[in-house]
Amino acid sequence: MKLKITVDGNVYEVEVEVAEPETPRHSYVPPLGHARVSAAPTVTAPSTAPAGQQAPVADESKVCRSPLAGVVSRVAVKPGQAIQVNDILIVLEAMKMETVITAPVAGTIAKINASEGDGVSQGQVLIEFE
């Protein structure tokens, strides 16, 4: 491959040989001091039951799943308790922030799968409804 290179106003024509196959380059180059990606990220299909998580439930409208990984700081309901839409169910803490989980449906609490202090993963079933 021939290239023209200008150095200090002088034009040079050089011939170069490709020693290694070309690798894809990222179009974004982060500023100094920031992390850089050295390889393309691997994308995998979501698993139906990640490690530590329960198997899929037959009726997803009857469960409340954790929207994020965190620690349960408060459980505001008890089994058998009647709830309305937007009632507070559980409070999670993640990265020094509290996330309030509210009831997506009106009904009765059938089972609570997490206690205060428990670590939970994203997508884990926290509460089951009747």
For each of the chain's 130 residues, which pLDDT tens digit applies? 788 888 888 988 888 877 666 655 545 554 555 444 444 444 444 445 555 455 555 688 889 999 999 999 999 999 999 999 899 999 999 998 999 999 988 999 999 999 999 999 999 999 999 8
Domains recognised in the chain with CATH numbers: 60-129 (2.40.50.100)
Handedness of CA 19, 22, 23, 25 (dihedral sign): positive
Quote the tokens at residue 70: 């965190």
**What is the 3-state secondary structure of the chain?**
CEEEEEECCEEEEEECCCCCCCCCCCCCCCCCCCCCCCCCCCCCCCCCCCCCCCCCCCCHHHEEECCCCEEEEEECCCCCCEECCCCEEEEEEECCEEEEEECCCCEEEEEECCCCCCEECCCCEEEEEC
The answer to whether 48 touches 56, Cβ cutoff 8 Å, is: yes
